[in-house]
Chains A and B, each alone.
Chain A
Amino acid sequence: MKGRYTPKVITGNALLEGDVVYFTADDRWSRHHAEAELIEDEAIADVRMLTASKDKNEIVGIYLADAKAGPNGPEPVHFREVFRTRGPSNYVHGKQADV
């Protein structure tokens, strides 16, 4: 019996500037984690990864990252993914500079 599937989002980096992006339920790539599609089933995750891979000339290094539901949309679970949503801690650069 498999354990409960940890929900996931699909993420990668934009080819041109390297910025972190997330795959949405309507097959777009968003700069915001909260707009990602939260995938709660492993079989669906496989299919969505295949769909996301159609964009591999625009998006690099596509992978599934653990996530959880939040009040405003999916939230990251692991600290690495938290850092990816905002940027480095030593300067206000990256995504945190845009908000």
Chain B
Amino acid sequence: MYDYNDFDDAFVRERVAQFAEQVERRIDGSLTEDEFRPFRLMNGLYLQLHAYMLRVAIPYGTLNSAKIRQLAYIADTWDKGYGHFTTRQNIQYNWPILRDVPKMLDALADVGMHAIQTSGNTIRNVTADHFAGAAADEIADPRPVAELIRQWSTDHPEFQFLPRKFKIAITGAPNDRAVTKAHDIGLRMVRNAQGEAGYEVIVGGGLGRTPLVGKVIRDFLPQVDLLPYLEAIVATYNLMGRRDNKYKARIKITVLENGIEAFRDAVEAEFSLRRAAFTGVDQALLAEIKSAFTEPDYVTKDTLAFEVAKKDPVFRSWVDTNVAKHKHAGYGIVSISLKAHGETPGDATSAQMRLIADLAEKYGHDDIRISHEQNVILPHVALADLPALHAALQTQRLATANIGLISDIIACPGMDYCALATARAIPVAQAIALRFDELKLEHDVGPLKIKISGCINACGHHHVGHIGILGLDRAGVENYQVTIGGDGTETTVIGERAGPGFAYDEIVPAIERLVLAYLTFREDPQETFLQSYRRLGIEPFKAALYPAGEHADAA
């Protein structure tokens, strides 16, 4: 875990002090809303449907017990006792009042956290593989580089007024758990023919109203060139990107309109200039950061009790779905589901956060991650400790065995909170999870990712859901479009739209028809929903969604 040095601390404190003054000047009327809005957005403060919302960055999704306890304290002191974890590894507080926000930011600074650049046309929170440093398939832990990117991008004077927001994701593993191909820049660690580790650099991916899979701009970038190359990409975009039309301002449009070849040429020309200006200070800094990300002191424990505990079907089921393979023998990566059936995806109460903090200290080498799939990860847990961990998680309804299953749904806040939303997302997710729990089919259905967005901006990643649901406003009524076959991994595919949308009270039965049909289509129980779709194409799924004569009210 990287700890703020004096420079980081002084910088964040100064920003908090500035914002405290800006809030006071807004309240006393010396700043108009038009003047104040850019200041509050620079500090992660939005005005939503019912209240303000403070979005706090969790850099590369990494927390420890002190940080998550402070997030719980903030939730209890200045919000309603819970927080919402998002698809960009942020936490959002839905009910702060304006006057309290500087106090919340001060409390964050106490544990080395901030809300800077969680909004606005800047480089946003850098996201990473939530299994970083633990995954068995990893080339290297991407977090030191992610921290370097955080420091480089925070308050970078050239990149405070980009044409549009800018999102970077990084993974150190070939299996992409960070959706790198749907980011403005995606970085995947790879090895070249000589066996050296470097980055595949992907540019111009993104979801939203124009969903595009990112394109490879460099198939192998040496590690030492990373920052000058990133700077060359963002600088090129800063000049070439469109500022005349908000909907054409993201880098994906810049790449599309100019072609990847012309864009690459411009980046390479810029890179040759920028690289000369980097004197190696970035590498010295990286070496310092790396020393903060040490391997856990693994302990060897007798796993007999773990083997015995697996005779309990509830524990066994949880291990099968929620514990992933760790690189170190005798350890596992534990996903704590924030998707108990009927609960709001990604929400955690302060009591849950405190329990997670205690368990991370006791069993998890004090390491905690937030996944883009809105769950919490304890990346390093000895298998021998799993029975005790599982029992403790049950006390706060955190032991749901559903990771990667139909009720492990991503949902954006939707029109329950968000001022941009066109329909609700949360209650649809709740209803689908409850329905399949009632049918007792969840484990039989197997791996299936449902992702729900409450508007075209696609915070819920619906385009890359095996089943995607997009909530829209059709003539003053909520209407839900279904896409099928999306994939957010290293084989990223944008899902295919199935047809006309469904009304609010029709969408859950429609998903049920779709999934029940898959159970009849699959060749054997090992064939997943996505594999069935890839084998059969969309037609049989459409037939299940739109049985003849039952959907005349096409929207």
Which positions in A face B, CB cutoff 8 Å? 13, 15-20, 56-57, 60-61, 77-80, 83-84, 87-91, 93-95
Contact = CB atoms under 8 A, between A and B. Distances in A.
Interface residues of B, number: 30
Given A17-B98, A79-B476, A79-B477, A88 B47 contact: no
Contacts, number: 74
Given A89-B426, A93-B50, 13 more contacts: A13-B51, A15-B98, A18-B50, A18-B98, A60-B33, A78-B476, A79-B473, A83-B415, A84-B50, A88-B50, A89-B424, A90-B347, A90-B430
Contacts of A16: 27, 97-99
B427 interface: yes
B272 interface: no
Contacts of A94: 50-51
A19 B50 contact: yes
B415 A15 contact: no
B416 interface: yes
Nearest to B28: A57
B318 interface: no
9 contacts: A13-B47, A15-B27, A56-B33, A79-B415, A79-B477, A83-B415, A88-B94, A89-B416, A89-B424
B426 A90 contact: yes
Interface in B1-53: 26-27, 29, 32-33, 47-52
Nearest to A59: B33
Contacts of A57: 29, 32
Given A88-B416, A88-B417, A90-B416, A18 B476 contact: no
A1 B32 CA distance: 39
Interface string B123-142: 00000000000000000000
B478 interface: yes
Contacts of B80: 91, 93
Given A79-B477, A83-B416, A56 B32 contact: yes
Contacts of A80: 49, 415, 473
Nearest to B37: A60
Contacts of B415: 79-80, 83
Contacts of A90: 344, 347, 416, 426-427, 430
Nearest to A93: B80
B518 interface: no
B432 to A, nearest CB: 14
Contact of B47 (A60, A77, A79): A60
A16 B347 CA distance: 25
Interface string B410-442: 000001110000001011001000000000000
Contacts of B49: 20, 80, 83-84
A28 to B, nearest CB: 19
B95 interface: yes
A45 to B, nearest CB: 20
A91 B99 CA distance: 24
Nearest to B417: A88
A80 B473 CA distance: 9
A18 B48 contact: yes
Contacts of A15: 26-27, 33, 98
A63 to B, nearest CB: 11
Most central of A17, A56, A60, A90 by chain B CB within 10 Å: A90
A91 B51 CA distance: 14
B1 to A, nearest CB: 32
